[in-house]
Amino acid sequence: MKGTVVLVHGLWMSGAEMFLLRKRLRGCGYRVFQFRYRTVACDISENARRLNKFLTRIPGSQVHFVAHSLGGLVVRQLFHDFPDERPGRIVTLGTPHNGSDTARHLGRNRSWRRALGMAFSPLSGHVPAWQGERELGSIAGTRSAGIAWFLKDIPKPNDGTVACNDSRLACMSDYLEFHVTHSGLLISRRVALQVCEFLKTGHFSRRLNYNEIKI
């Protein structure tokens, strides 16, 4: 085994939608665990605390994180509140590191604001600054098929939910874009291969031969 990976899902999700990514990471030789949390009922600090408690039950001297959307913000909060975690790298998929224009737009509507619940604040950009606490790679999607398609003021390119510019983060180690949607980031084989590459080397590969690698 190459090491341990903890998956952290996104808004309104349960982790079940990450099954294919989980399988592919195992195919790359990683031991994979899924962290589940209440995305709208608990604030981000509480979810970071629960993630920290979850990690006490995870074996290994090195623990990596792969997080989708809101999950990436929970991981950032974790390292702010609990900086003494075991060594490891982080890959975020479609995470609005600079806040989500979609969330801010939806938050103007009372019903949508209730639906976003406690997630509205971090999705609006209220998260601790990232100081490069760990090697972090960010992957964004550029296929605009989703709710952002109906919100004409959401910057392009975007993945249908999160604008690419919002997925860029100061002090990140690397950044990559794929022509997939927000949810497509979880099912793309090429994305999964680049996740494995970053966890192994700390960088994405622009020379990766996707046809030669079988997972």
> Residue 214: inside a domain, yes or no?
no
Instruction: Give the tens place of pLDDT for each residue, 43-98.
Output: 999 999 999 999 999 999 999 999 999 999 999 999 999 999 999 999 999 999 99
Q: How confident is the model at residue 145 (pLDDT cuts 50, 70, 90)?
A: confident
Strands 136-141 and 174-178: parallel
> Residue 124: inside a domain, yes or no?
yes
Host domain of residue 163: 3-201
pTM for the complete prediction?
A: 0.96
Assess whether pLDDT exceeds 70 at residue 29: yes
Dihedrals φ, ψ of 32, to 5°?
A: -120, 135
Q: What percent of the chain has pLDDT over 90?
A: 84
- pLDDT for res 105: 86
> Residue 160: inside a domain, yes or no?
yes
Q: How confident is the model at residue 149 (pLDDT cuts 50, 70, 90)?
A: low
Q: Tokens 């479609």: give the residue.
A: 94
Tokens read off for 161 = 């939910």
> Residue 87: inside a domain, yes or no?
yes
> Residue 91: inside a domain, yes or no?
yes
- pLDDT for res 138: 98
Q: How confident is the model at residue 155 (pLDDT cuts 50, 70, 90)?
A: confident
Q: Which of 52, 181, 16, 42 is nearest to 122 (CA)?
A: 42
- pLDDT for res 148: 66
> Residue 22: inside a domain, yes or no?
yes
Number of separate domains in the chain: 1
- pLDDT for res 34: 98
Assess whether pLDDT exceeds 90 at residue 1: no
Instruction: Give the mean model confidence (pLDDT) for residues 126-135.
Output: 94
Residue 87: in which H helix or E strand, if any? none
